[in-house]
Amino acid sequence: MQEKLNISNKILTRKNLIYLIKKYKTPLWVYNANIIIKQIKKLKQFDIIRFAQKSCSNIHILRIMKDYNVKIDAVSLGEIKRALIAGFKPYNNNIVFTSDILEKNVLKEVVKKNIPVNAGSIEMLHQLGKMSPGHPVWIRINPRFGGGHHIKTNTGGDQSKHGIWDFMQAVSIIEKYHLNLIGLHIHIGSGVNIKNLYRVCESMKNHAIQLNKKIQFISAGGGLSIPYKPQDKEIHVNDYFKKWNNVKKKLISTLNCPIKLEIEPGRFLVGQSGILIAKVHSVKKTQTNIFILINAGFNDLMRPVLYGSYHEITVLHKNITDIKKIPIIRGIVAGPLCESGDIFTIQETGIILPRNIPEVQPGDYIIIHNTGAYGSSMSSNYNSRPFIPEVLYEKKTFRLIRRRQTIEEMLSLELPI
């Protein structure tokens, strides 16, 4: 039975889950477009919403964004191609390339298509300036502080490789090459607490005033967190918007030009839309622990092992039972990989963290929730396990949006021998 849960994903009925498991087999990602659309609408006060596609880069997800007027951020040539295939046109600032380096093939593509570049290093400005004078650029500012749910997701401050430290140096190089500075951007990390997010407003204001030139855009970056744990609260988007809107108004009057306010979320738009369904294959007892071994590993969902991230876990029993009669055990949910860190209930330190879970047996299913962001897009072929399928629920139907990779496809890159 599907348990309790403050998860407002109405498609997760027993009937639907059994249908999906039968049709597509496990392990399997499932997304609910309605949740993505709901999240987009929460941000509608911002002039521009730009989706950080690295959080969930399936082209069908990108197409939903496009349908709802969300623009797109790309951080690699592959992501630019994804955006183009999803139907984003490379003009009107629809696609912005954000990076800290510019590889040759990327440089060629952004110049050819006139895609604005959000520069995170001085070298990028030199490269662009030499090859494409007048090119539209943003400066990604390192505001000299950062934030994030984990040290690995902090993208500002002295310890971060991201963004430009010496703002005025970037400005003078932009002037030297007559690059077209269209916007200022600050993104300090992912899963940032609200206090640090508010500090960004202040920093943006100060930098823009220091710049003292007309610009078209300011971007608040991403980083908005979502509730992962039952006690986590939703972020107050309205308050956040108001703070940024005040910055915008101030800059419009100080710089005496129209300015559009962008927000650039990844997690916030897609995180809650996705689940990972996996099958229980073994329940092992050691002296003190119960390991529930499932057929998805950190090659599929990396967040727990990488950050010690918490994801809600529920159980779908193969046979209908009265869930209230099933005893709760202290279980550790683990994957199939040949690596002892392949655990989904784990602390940041790598220490296992048993969780209250209704007792399961081989043949039952585990559902890992809120995996829409940094789930599939971070997957690997580690242990030579193929990429698993993705299914999208949209307009009242389930549809395969990425098929399961075959082992032959995976090996083909190395053949012939």
Ligand X SMILES: *Cc1c(COP(=O)(O)O)cnc(C)c1O
Q: Which residue has the tokens 């709760």?
A: 328
Binding flag, residue 274, ligand X (CB under 6 A): no
Applying the rule CB under 6 A, the residues between 72 and 111 that interact with ligand X are 73, 98
Measured between its terminal Cα atoms, the distance across the chain in Å is: 48
User: Phi and psi for 338 in degrees, rounded to 5?
Assistant: -80, 70
Q: Which is nearer to ligand X, 27 or 191 (CB)?
A: 191
Closest separation in Å from C-beta 95 to ligand X: 13
Binding flag, residue 267, ligand X (CB under 6 A): yes
- Judged by CB under 6 A, the residue of 9, 39, 55, 94 near ligand X is 55
146 appears as a binding residue in the annotation: no
Does the annotation mark 338 as catalytic? yes
Q: How far is CA 218 from CA 6, 116, 118, 214, 301, in A?
A: 35, 14, 11, 11, 33
264 appears as a binding residue in the annotation: yes
Q: Which is nearer to ligand X, 55 or 379 (CB)?
A: 55
Q: Which is nearer to ligand X, 270 or 294 (CB)?
A: 270
- Judged by CB under 6 A, the residue of 90, 265, 358, 372 near ligand X is 265
Q: Which of 318, 228, 338 is nearest to 26 (CA)?
A: 318
Q: Which of 353, 121, 371 is nearest to 271 (CA)?
A: 371
Closest separation in Å from C-beta 38 to ligand X: 16
Q: Which is nearer to ligand X, 90 or 266 (CB)?
A: 266
Binding flag, residue 266, ligand X (CB under 6 A): yes
Q: Which residue has the tokens 């390991």?
A: 291
Of 23-31, 184-192, 312-320, 380-388, the window that binds ligand X (rule: CB under 6 A) is: 184-192
Applying the rule CB under 6 A, the residues between 203 and 262 that interact with ligand X are 221-224
339 appears as a binding residue in the annotation: yes
- Judged by CB under 6 A, the residue of 177, 240, 268, 298 near ligand X is 268
Chain contacts with ligand X (rule: CB under 6 A): 52, 54-55, 73, 98, 187, 190-191, 221-224, 264-268, 373
Give catalytic residues, as residue numbers: 338
